[in-house]
């Protein structure tokens, strides 16, 4: 593998070449710029655009800014694309975003690696923190946004490699919504969902989204279910004020599956369906309640404000038996059970203003965020057999013949209180028609207090951190922008779940992420957009996952560099596509007890490519084709186990029976590729699904 220092100049030259190409093709500039540069109303409204290409999102800057004017790489998955691909869970959707690598999440949570940075907590819902460890559904989502690079100025702590934001469906004041869907796949998994919306008057509208899923797949022991219900009510409180109230209930119960072990530096072969656990014990349950309120008020055409409130309660339990090591005929397993109760209270307020000073046009954001988070967590290890050993070795059979299992070893019980208060200011300055500057600064006062209830060790730590962001945008024409940006984020050493401080972590300064990025954005037509970006991301005082036990360890510092490109939108009236490519590499740059300098970062494939297309052959018949390619990568920073490269091909057929009924057939892994998409440790490696199909019926009434 080339060193990051050699990769950076090459990708910067490539980015500049693409920018020059875009600037040299003005033929469609006037038409493309017509929609891209429009100013939206001061009250930010998440609309329901049709098609794969989305021109605006308030998430990246907390202002209603066209994506072409955001100095950052942003990928948006629209509702239409999610439906066409037949996706129900967030992790499934992220497979089609180059630069995002899915982690296994120990079989009970969303976990991602963005630009080489692993996280279980950089998830947001309508811009508010949603950081508990669980699987996130898509039934109530209008779109998914992946914002890459350091994001602390907008989102606060964490977000070093990027963040993932789900945008909720909202009530419509001028449209009645009556939709339902049902689907079943080759393994017997099935889903039903409903989306109902009704204006009650000119000033009140309601919406209800609900779903139930039953899980199944190719593994010997896998099942479970998910139920989600989200009612919402919106109010127009006069011409300049809107309010929104929503509540989400989520109930998830599934088998915890930690995949297969490795053998001789690669995933063990011939055991893709073997369940290396105990179906009676491996279980994960989550019950989540998320209540939100938002108030938007427009003081004038130039000034507006919004205030958001979120209360979230997560009650989670999981237990798992999983492989620790293997030979060709035997496997050693161990396990534990864990439970977490978490309460999050988030209050966020923003004041937005647009004004001019001489030749300069300003769009200013001033805001605050207050977070109160309480977490109670416990864990006990598994004991095997009469002797109560910490692990056991058995023959590889289907199912495994495991001895009696009890929990109670090495008990842990912790309590943590996290309180943070943040203030931020950002100015988007237009200097004439061709130059823009985005500059922002955030200050976080972060305080954590924890208690280890087993040994009564109590610790506290307070950190005050500044998070700046600055971006320069050059617009040679209305539909082309060239940008460069620099941003810094931080993460306290208590980890992204803030469970407990020990005598070491209580003394450590937060991790720091420094992201330098340059890119080009080109709206080729009003409905087709090309983006490319090159970046260098440095992480200091780094933490990583131990290759053996999965615990967090310090690795000093690391660097990731890369190039990302995407083409998204409508090529013709009947042809839509999303294409994406990522070239990336990263290495540890300081020797520690966890790994020497020069080791490659975990789960960072050098090449990722994704494509999804839909072509409507006739008004009634459409065809879809998708491809995901991921080159080989290392499971962990040990660099001892290699996850092989793979290419997966998906396909779909859409048939519109009439205006009320549409049928679609999605086929995953058309060539029946044997692949291993993710891992947690060197011996917890997920196996990809074989060839399977899903039939879905969508009804409007």
* CATH code where residue 277 lies: 2.40.170.20
Supply the pLDDT for residue 54.
84
Residue 157 is given by DSSP the state: S
CA–CA gap between residue 49 and residue 95 (Å, rounded):
22
**Strands 684-686 vs 646-656: parallel, antiparallel or unpaired:** unpaired
CA–CA gap between residue 284 and residue 224 (Å, rounded):
9
Supply the pLDDT for residue 623.
98
Q: Return mean pLDDT, the chain.
A: 90
Higher-confidence residue of 332 and 546: namely: 332
Residue 644 — φ and ψ, nearest 5°?
-65, 155
Higher-confidence residue of 34 and 488: namely: 488
Contact indicator for 672, 691 with CB cutoff of 8 Å = yes
Neighbours of 248 (CB within 10 A): 21
3-state secondary structure 541-567: EEEEECCCCCCEEEEEEEEEEEEEEEE
- Please give the tally of structural domains in the chain: 1
Quickly state the pLDDT bin for 543 (edges 50, 70, 90): low
Neighbours of 289 (CB within 10 A): 14
Strand (E) positions, 152-260?
A: 162-168, 177-185, 190-199, 204-215, 224-236, 241-254
At 319, which helix (H) or strand (E)?
strand 303-326
Supply the pLDDT for residue 549.
66
CA–CA gap between residue 180 and residue 195 (Å, rounded):
6
Closest CA to 145 of 164, 127, 162: 164
Quickly state the pLDDT bin for 26 (edges 50, 70, 90): very low
Instruction: Kindly state the tokens that stand for 146.
Output: 């992946």
> Which range among 149-163, 216-230, 261-275, 611-625 shows the weakest confidence by mean pLDDT?
149-163
Task: For residue 293, give its domain range.
Answer: 4-700
Residue 357 — φ and ψ, nearest 5°?
-130, 100
In the predicted structure, residue 4 carries a pLDDT above the cut 50? no
Adjacent-strand bridge partners of 320: 336
**Burial of 256 by CB count in 10 Å (0-12 exposed, 13-18 middle, 19+ buried)?**
buried
Q: Mean pLDDT across the stretch 375-398?
A: 96
Chain centroid offset of residue 337 CA: 26
Quickly state the pLDDT bin for 62 (edges 50, 70, 90): very high
Supply the pLDDT for residue 152.
86
Quickly state the pLDDT bin for 648 (edges 50, 70, 90): very high
**Burial of 507 by CB count in 10 Å (0-12 exposed, 13-18 middle, 19+ buried)?**
exposed
Supply the pLDDT for residue 33.
38
The full DSSP string for 258-281 is --B-EETTEEPSS-TT---S-TTT
> Which range among 42-46, 368-372, 507-511, 631-635 shows the weakest confidence by mean pLDDT?
42-46
Contact indicator for 669, 652 with CB cutoff of 8 Å = no
Supply the pLDDT for residue 18.
47
Supply the pLDDT for residue 507.
82
Angle at 167 between CA 162 and CA 170, to 5 degrees: 170
Residue 161 vs residues 95, 146, 445: alpha-carbon distances, Å: 16, 10, 22
Supply the pLDDT for residue 305.
97
Alpha-carbon dihedral sign for residues 502, 503, 509, 511: negative
Most distant pair of Cα atoms in the chain: their distance: 82
CA–CA gap between residue 145 and residue 58 (Å, rounded):
11
Angle at 437 between CA 431 and CA 440, to 5 degrees: 140
**Strands 162-168 vs 123-125: parallel, antiparallel or unpaired:** parallel
In the predicted structure, residue 392 carries a pLDDT above the cut 90? yes
> What is the per-residue pLDDT across 131-147, written as a single tens digit (0 to 9) for each?
999 999 999 999 999 99
The residue with tokens 């702590």 is 157
In the predicted structure, residue 561 carries a pLDDT above the cut 70? yes
Adjacent-strand bridge partners of 464: 445
pTM: 0.90
Quickly state the pLDDT bin for 482 (edges 50, 70, 90): very high
In the predicted structure, residue 336 carries a pLDDT above the cut 80? yes
In the predicted structure, residue 35 carries a pLDDT above the cut 90? no
Residue 110 — φ and ψ, nearest 5°?
-75, 135
Neighbour-count burial for 30-55, b at 16+ CB within 10 Å, e otherwise: eebbebbbeeeebbbebeebeebbbb
Supply the pLDDT for residue 554.
62
Supply the pLDDT for residue 50.
61
Q: Mean pLDDT across the stretch 289-302?
A: 96
Q: Mean pLDDT across the stretch 268-294?
A: 96
The proportion of the chain whose per-residue pLDDT surpasses 70, expressed as a percent, equals: 91
> What is the per-residue pLDDT across 67-90, written as a single tens digit (0 to 9) for each?
999 999 999 999 999 999 999 999
Supply the pLDDT for residue 700.
96
């Amino acid at each position: 593998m080339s060193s990051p220092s050699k990769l950076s100049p090459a990708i910067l030259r490539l980015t500049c070449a693409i920018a020059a190409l875009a600037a040299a093709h003005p033929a469609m500039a006037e038409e493309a710029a017509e929609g891209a540069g429009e100013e939206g109303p001061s009250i930010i409204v998440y609309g329901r655009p049709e098609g794969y290409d989305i021109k605006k999102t308030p998430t990246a800057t907390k202002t209603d800014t066209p994506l072409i004017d955001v100095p950052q790489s942003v990928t948006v998955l629209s509702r239409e694309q999610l439906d066409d691909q037949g996706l129900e869970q967030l992790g499934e959707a992220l497979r089609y975003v180059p630069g995002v690598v899915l982690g296994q999440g120990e079989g009970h949570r969303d976990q991602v690696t963005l630009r080489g940075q692993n996280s279980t907590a950089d998830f947001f819902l309508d811009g508010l923190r949603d950081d508990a460890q669980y699987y996130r559904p898509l039934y109530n989502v209008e779109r998914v946004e992946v914002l890459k690079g350091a994001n602390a100025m907008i989102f606060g702590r964490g977000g070093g490699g990027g963040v993932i934001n789900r945008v909720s469906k909202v009530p419509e004041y001028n449209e009645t919504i009556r939709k339902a869907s049902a689907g079943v796949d080759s393994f017997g998994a099935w889903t039903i969902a409903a989306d109902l919306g009704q204006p009650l008057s000119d000033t009140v509208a309601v919406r209800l989204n609900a779903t139930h899923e039953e899980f199944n797949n190719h593994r010997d022991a896998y099942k479970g279910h998910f139920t989600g219900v989200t009612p919402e009510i919106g109010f127009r409180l006069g011409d300049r004020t809107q309010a929104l109230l929503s509540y989400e209930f989520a109930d998830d119960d599934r088998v915890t599956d930690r995949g297969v072990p490795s053998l001789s530096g690669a995933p063990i072969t011939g055991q893709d369906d073997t369940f290396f656990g105990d179906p009676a014990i491996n279980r994960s349950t989550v019950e989540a309640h998320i209540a939100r309120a938002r108030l938007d008020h427009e003081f004038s055409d130039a000034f507006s404000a919004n205030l958001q409130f979120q209360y979230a309660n997560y009650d989670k339990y999981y237990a798992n038996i999983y492989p620790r090591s293997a030979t060709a005929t035997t496997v050693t397993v161990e396990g534990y059970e864990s439970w977490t109760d978490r309460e999050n209270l988030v209050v966020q307020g923003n004041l937005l203003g647009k004004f001019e000073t001489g030749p300069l046009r300003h769009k200013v954001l001033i805001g605050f965020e207050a977070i109160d988070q309480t977490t109670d967590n416990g864990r006990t290890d598994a004991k095997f057999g009469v002797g109560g050993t910490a692990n056991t070795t058995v023959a590889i059979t289907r199912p495994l013949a495991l001895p009696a299992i009890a929990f109670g070893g090495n008990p842990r019980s912790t309590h943590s209180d996290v309180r943070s208060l943040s203030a931020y200011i950002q100015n988007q300055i237009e200097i004439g028609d061709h130059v823009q500057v985005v500059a922002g600064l955030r200050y976080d006062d972060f305080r954590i207090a924890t208690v280890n209830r087993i040994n009564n060790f109590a610790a506290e730590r307070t950190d005050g951190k500044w998070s700046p962001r600055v971006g320069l945008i050059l617009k040679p024409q209305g539909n082309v922008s060239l940008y460069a940006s620099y941003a810094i984020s931080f993460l306290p050493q208590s980890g992204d779940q803030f469970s407990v401080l020990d005598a070491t972590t209580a003394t450590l300064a937060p991790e720091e992420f420094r992201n330098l990025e340059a890119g080009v954005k080109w709206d080729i037509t009003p409905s087709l957009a090309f983006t490319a970006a090159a970046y260098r991301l440095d992480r200091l005082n780094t933490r990583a996952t131990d290759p053996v036990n999965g615990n967090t360890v310090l690795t000093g510092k690391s660097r990731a560099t890369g190039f990302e490109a995407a083409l998204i939108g409508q090529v013709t009236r009947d042809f839509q596509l999303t294409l994406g490519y990522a070239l990336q590499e990263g290495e540890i740059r300081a020797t520690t007890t966890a790994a020497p300098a020069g080791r490659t970062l975990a789960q960072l494939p050098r090449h990722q490519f994704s494509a999804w297309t839909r072509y409507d052959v006739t008004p009634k018949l459409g065809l879809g084709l998708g491809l995901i390619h991921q080159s080989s990568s290392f499971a962990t920073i040990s660099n001892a186990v290699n996850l092989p490269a793979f290419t997966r091909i998906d396909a779909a057929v859409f048939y519109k029976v009439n205006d009320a009924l549409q049928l679609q057939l999605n086929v995953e892994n058309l060539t029946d590729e044997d692949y291993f998409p993710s891992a947690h440790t060197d011996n917890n490696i997920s196996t990809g699904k074989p060839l399977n199909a899903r039939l879905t019926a969508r009804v409007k009434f």
